[in-house]
Amino acid sequence: MESIGSRIRMRRKMIGLSQTALGRGIVSQSVISRLENDQFDISLDKLMRIMERLNLSLHDVFCNGEKTPAKMIQEALDTERRRQDFTKIKSILEKHNQKTWSQTPDLEGYRHWHEGLVEYSKGHLEVAQEKISRAIEKNRTNEWMYEAVAEMYLAKGNIHHLMGKEGIDFYKEAEYYYQKSGRKSYRLIVKILYNLSTAYYRQGEYGKVLKYSDKSIEILNRYESTHLMCETLYNRSMAEFQLGNKTEALKIIDESKHIFRMGRKLEMAQRLNNYSEENILGN
């Protein structure tokens, strides 16, 4: 479980303050250092002033691992964003006042980001771009938000494309921040790589298309996406044969050959060849 001092340290680094800057006018740098190491030789009044400078509440610091209200708002927005339920996103945004959103840079960035997505859903692309850009500015130096910033850049690139402009630079920024985040959200990185390969295809840079396509395929194989797809297609084709639906089974086999090769399921592909039209007719 995180200590109180470590929470204060993380927030200080998040908003880009040195220990000296955090304590300026309140306490010395050495007091901040001791505070971050859970040595509380500081008055409550001064501690409150430091927390105010960090945009932290008592609940944020002393919640003992419980989710803060800010974290719960972010998680609610994450859920509806993944569902692409823009009506619910709008409802969450309108439910909270300005004071709530200005608690922390990351929460304020979340507000701008999701306001931009709501505008995007309405077709207001210029406004959506502006709001997402503001969200990025709020959090581009916030290491705890790098994965979210990657997703913001991905959205910005997609909106830029809809405006008739090229979004490659935004997709490259998305990949950069994803790598910096150290996270393992393979669905996000595959989306980023897909958009990069598509954008380079439109520009005729086919070598780069291959580069990003290969990266994407390697990730999909690593996380068993193509593996499970092959297993599922194999089971389905075999079931169709057992049910006497040979035409449907042959259609599945024919349409899925490339997927088996891509997933390196060559032995399984060879077994399927035994059910090819030639072999069936030969029997």
- Tell me, yes or no, whether 90 and 213 share the same domain: yes
The predicted-structure confidence for 124-176, as pLDDT tens digits, reads as follows 999 999 999 999 998 888 777 899 999 999 999 999 999 999 899 999 999 99
Token representation of residue 217: 């395929």
How many domains, in total, are found in the chain?
3
Single out the residue in 62, 90, 108 at which a domain terminates. Answer: 62
- Tell me, yes or no, whether 88 and 154 share the same domain: yes
- Tell me, yes or no, whether 172 and 218 share the same domain: yes
Compute CA distances 208 → 157, 194, 205, whole Å: 17, 11, 6
What is the value of pTM for the model shown? 0.67
Residue 21 backbone phi and psi in degrees, to 5? -65, -35
Report the pLDDT value the prediction gives residue 219, as an integer from 0 to 100.
81
- Tokens 């007091």 locate to 31
The predicted-structure confidence for 58-117, as pLDDT tens digits, reads as follows 656 665 555 667 778 988 999 999 999 999 999 999 999 888 888 778 889 999 999 999
Write out the residue range of the structural domain in which residue 29 sits. 4-62
- Tell me, yes or no, whether 232 and 175 share the same domain: no
